[in-house]
Amino acid sequence: MSDKSLKQTAQDLRNQLNTWAREYYSLDKPTVPDDVYDKKYQELVNIEHAHPELITPDSPTQRVGGQVLKGFEKINHEIPMLSLGDVFSKEELGNFVDNLDKNLDEKIDYNCELKIDGLAISLVYRKGIFVQGSTRGNGRIGEDITQNLRTIKSVPLKLSEPVDVEVRGECYMPKKSFVELNERQEKEGKQIFANARNAAAGSLRQLDSRITSDRKLSTFIYYLMEPEKFGVTTQSQALEKMRSWGFKIDPDFKVAHDKEEIFEYIDKYQEKRASLTYDIDGIVIKANPFSVHREVGNTVKVPRWAIAYKFPPDEQETIVRDIEWTVGRTGVVTPTAIMDPVQLAGTTVSRASLHNPDYIKEKDIRIGDTVKLHKAGDIIPEISMVVLSKRPNDSVPYPIPKNCPECGAKLVHLDDEVALRCINPKCPALVKESLTHFASRNAMDIRGLGTRIIAQLYDKKLVKDIADIYKLTIDELLQLDKIKEKSANNLLTAIDNSRENSLERLLFGLGIRHVGAKAAKLIAQHFKTMDRIKEASVEEICSIKTMGTIIAESIVTYFDSKEVDELLEELKKARVNMSYTGESEAEILENAANSPFNGLRVVLTGTLDHLKRADAKKWLEAHGAKVTGSVSSKTNLLIAGHDAGSKLTKAENLKIKIINEETFIQQMEEED
């Protein structure tokens, strides 16, 4: 075949594959079986492999991740990506519509769209070819995530027309993908994600685009920049125009002619919400004519022509049958309510964290109580109150345990914490959790050494501490349930590879209290070797920017131990690296500047169960945030613990973004 005909064959294959992909992923109307697509795809792969000069940016073969980035470049949004104002009742929504109608000369239609629970993105095309994708960021400055967005099948690499256009929309994780991801995370002994939105956020900001590709994200596009260029005069027309180009839009939008039709749409999808294949947290109502958008304009933060109606939280009654106590890596013993299963916001719920003993006492939760259960932020199951009228006559207050449920050691309170702790270093639960943490992704990253394997190794007395991991043999691994020779060899290879990790991974893996992955990296970068860290004083550690006395004292106390000395000697004998081989201090500080918290004004309020207020503040400041004591119109984010009071109320009135402690911790872990 001549070079000319081969080039044409490759282009024909690309065009056909892109058409089939658009039909499958954007229109949900596949026209060929998977095996036909796969055969043509492989044909294109073979041509491009033999002739890499024929590869083009719009080739479907370029969706496969592989490029590992050092960080994300900043993108300036010439036209800001605004957020939406929220309303929480039909009355408020009706007032919005009435006020808008009152200020216009003629009656208008409204476009109703589902409010997808995901991350805002921008996509730029030149002559119909995808050239750049970015996050919303703070609305004016986002991050360039082009390589990651290229891996998402619903993002067209080439449009049906050679237009220059920017569109905006939402990237989300379908419910099925979310379930599969968490099952995989749990199987591998990794942290599971609290909700699909957090999972999507973490997936989009992966420096390795192969991970993003593996997460099976999707998109809905809903905003067309400069619609007048394309002869489009309404939002509903814009959606159809973008669909014709190959973008995936939410097909369930509807043009409503009055408030009653808007309310009917809300009722319909509030009922259908649980059956959708993706998460929604409300309805977006937009003035349909773009002439109205131009006429009424925007405030600094939100458009005056659109509003988001947030669904009220789903609440159900159920009965507490038991309270289960589990021991975490740091010894914190956490209570969990075991309840009769109920359907809540689309999922079956039978467990809810009770956080700590004080929480149980404050709400006076007892075995046999009927309680009201909701999902905090539509995410985390939480008991809001006890239905006292249904309390059994023989009910008695719940007795808080005094001994560890795993080892029987006496439980203690440390540093005036609300949490109970087991401080027995030989507690089986504590040891197994410590081993799991040591092998985790952000620590030594020993692939395959998850919770299930570690439990077996410990129970069979094959490991008693982290140094024993490096003494394992293939014969010992083959004693484990469902471990064959291939997986045993893979695990030994992963263990061997972990010996070469940079010092900060080992330091974080040791599980020193208050020392997270970010702090471990700063400390390792500063002192360079484990021996120098061991010898460091509180003052020397505090000399590191963003490092406080709590972390410094914790490190000094940890290394002032004969047992730790012995453990480190064992690790040295196992040839585990004890030196820093990572980034420079300047690069680390630059990464902190790239944090989504950078530049935000944050307020902490209420009681935090798992974090000290000072530690949360220190972490936020290390990631570029300014932590203030009062809520104002300049506040960007409120982090609310339980029993939050007037600050929470004021933030709600000012429509400031609010997250709870669990969501904040999830975001901290994704950052670190």
> Rounded to whole angstroms, what are the CA distances from 257 to 112, 120, 157, 237, 309?
10, 28, 36, 16, 17
The DSSP letter of residue 274 is G
| Tokens representing residue 555 in the block | 């490190």
Dihedral angle at the C-alpha atoms of 105, 110, 111, 113, nearest 10 degrees? 140
DSSP percent split of the chain into helix, strand, coil, nearest 5: 40, 20, 35
- Burial class for 235, CB neighbours closer than 10 Å (0-12, 13-18, 19+): buried
Provide the b/e sequence for 344-379 (b: ≥16 CB within 10 Å).
bbeeebeebbbbbbebbeebebbbebbbebbbbbbb
Q: Which of 115, 286, 375, 647 is catalytic?
A: 115
Distance CA 268, CA 277 (A): 16
- The verdict on whether 74 is a catalytic residue reads no
User: If 0-12 CB within 10 Å is exposed, 13-18 middle and 19+ buried, where does residue 233 land?
Assistant: middle
How far, in Å, are 189, 293, 444, 453, 470 from residue 499 at the CA level?
20, 59, 8, 19, 9
Helix residue ranges, H only, 514-612: 517-527, 530-535, 538-542, 549-559, 562-573, 585-593
- Distance between CA 352 and CA 337 in Å, rounded? 5
Residues 6+ apart with CB under 8 A from 668: 516, 619
Ranges of beta strands (E only) in 147-194 are: 165-172
Q: How far apart are CA 251 and CA 270, in angstroms?
A: 16
Active site positions, annotated: 115
